[in-house]
Amino acid sequence: MKIVILERNSVGTDVSVDCISDFGDVTVYRNTVTAEEVKERVRDADIVIANKSPLNEETLKDAPDVKLICEFATGYDNCDLAYCKKRGIKVTNVVDYSTAMVAQHTFTLALALSQKLIHYDNYVKSGEYSAQDRFSNFDIPFYELEGKTWGIVGMGNIGRRVAKMAEAFGCKVIFHSITGKSACSAYPRVDKDTLLRESDYLSLHCPLSDLSRNWIDGEALKKMKKTAILINVARGPVVNNKDLYEALEAGEIQAAGLDVVEKEPLELTNPLSGIKDSSRLIITPHLAWASVEARTRCVEGAYLNIQAFLRGEDRNVVNP
């Protein structure tokens, strides 16, 4: 069995992928970006492990032996599922491996912004605290989560975990379903305008689709509270970055915490890159999913998917 790992670095070099060699000869590439690279590297493969590399007719047509594609991820936008199904290639993903970490990062961003932690840390480290004549400093107001309304878009595994954490902080939880198909009955489901109008904290956990693209735009931001904090740990294009920049500059919302942006890595032409005030904006480099534990679970999930496939069983197959 010939196995090719196209994007070994996508799970981090501190996490071992040696277990995959249990199933055959493994060829490992640090990263694979272009279609030409993919075509050449999968030519003789039976199993392909990838994350973002394009896997479609163009890149797979000259690879007659490919039988299984394993994503080192939950998403599979890089795969042409219809073509793979026509070819008899099964595509699998790894589910729920990063739920705990993404939920944790959601609150890391929310708490850092609401409590102005970076400002106060810088205040102490600058020497200003040591130079003052009183024991405390709270020159920028900060607020409690207790009693606030936490709005959620996308009530899947991550959204539900965030809802429970918000409740533990004493928040009222409301949510909106973009598709209108959510079966969640544990929390009040509201329309978009109500969600925007009532949320003190609004966190996004929805997949990217035609329905969710630019879901937070200039019109939506104008409907939010001026004291609201927006958290996006979903997909970058769910939030119109130019409109968010203008809203932050105009004070239409208090702050935003982003782990994702419209185009990654963040381009210097993105206006959000010009905001240096971390009391208004914190951007992390798409790492909310990437704790050591989560990345380890991701590799283990791919391992189990291959193991099941070789036993003739379907596990996490997304194109049955």
Neighbours of 140 (CB within 10 A): 11
Convert the pLDDT of each residue in 49-97 to its tens digit.
999 999 999 999 999 999 999 999 998 989 999 999 999 999 999 999 9
Instruction: Please give the Cα distance from 193 to 177 (Å, whole number).
Output: 12
2-97+292-310 and 99-283 have identical folds: yes
Structure tokens at 83: 């073509």
pLDDT more than 70, % of the chain: 100
Residue with tokens 């890089």: 78
Contact 200, 152 (CB under 8 A): no
What integer is the mean pLDDT of 126-146?
Answer: 97
Instruction: Look at residue 182 and give its three-state secondary structure.
Output: coil
The single residue of 119, 286, 300, 315 carrying the catalytic annotation is 286
Mean pLDDT of the region 288-316? 98
Burial of 232 (0-12, 13-18, 19+ CB in 10 A): buried
Q: How confident is the model at residue 145 (pLDDT cuts 50, 70, 90)?
A: very high
The C-alpha atoms of residue 46 and residue 33 are separated, in whole angstroms, by: 20
Residue 79 pLDDT: 97
Q: Return the structure tokens found at 163.
A: 């809802």
User: What is the tens place of the pLDDT at every residue in 5-26?
Assistant: 999 999 999 999 999 999 999 9
Q: Give domain limits for the chain.
A: 2-97+292-310, 99-283
Instruction: Copy the structure tokens of residue 272.
Output: 């959000």
The reported pLDDT for the residue numbered 189 is: 98
> What single DSSP character describes residue 266?
P
- From the number of C-beta atoms within 10 Å of its C-beta (0-12, 13-18, 19+), residue 160 rates as buried
Q: What is the pLDDT of residues 242-279, one digit of tens each?
A: 999 999 999 999 999 999 999 999 999 999 999 999 99
pLDDT band at 117 (very low <50, low <70, confident <90, very high): very high
pLDDT digits (tens, 9 = 90+) for 21-58: 999 999 999 999 999 999 999 999 999 999 999 999 99
Is 286 considered catalytic here?
A: yes
29-32: long-range contacts, CB 8 A cutoff, minimum separation 24 = 29/4, 29/5, 31/6, 31/7, 32/6, 32/7
In this prediction, residue 309 carries a pLDDT of 98
- 99-283 architecture in CATH? 3-Layer(aba) Sandwich (3.40)
- Which amino acid is located at 35 in the chain? A
Average pLDDT over residues 129-149: 97
pLDDT at 49: 98
Which residue in the list 8, 235, 295, 297 is annotated as catalytic? 235
Q: What is the predicted pLDDT for the residue at 294?
A: 98
Residue whose structure tokens are 């099941």? 308
The catalytically annotated residue of 36, 57, 144, 264 is: 264
Q: What is the pLDDT of residues 147-184, one digit of tens each?
A: 999 999 999 999 999 999 999 999 999 999 999 999 99
Please confirm, yes or no, whether 235 is among the known catalytic residues.
Answer: yes
Angle at 310 between CA 304 and CA 316, to 5 degrees: 45
Please state the CATH superfamily assignment of the domain spanning residues 2-97+292-310 in this structure: NAD(P)-binding Rossmann-like Domain (3.40.50.720)
So what's the pLDDT on residue 129? 98
Amino acid 200: pLDDT: 98
Per residue in 230-245, pLDDT (tens digit) is 999 999 999 999 999 9
Q: Return the pLDDT at 295.
A: 98
Q: How many other C-beta atoms can be found within 10 angstroms of the C-beta atom of residue 189?
A: 16
Is 30 considered catalytic here?
Answer: no
Contact 291, 105 (CB under 8 A): no
Report DSSP state, residue 228: -
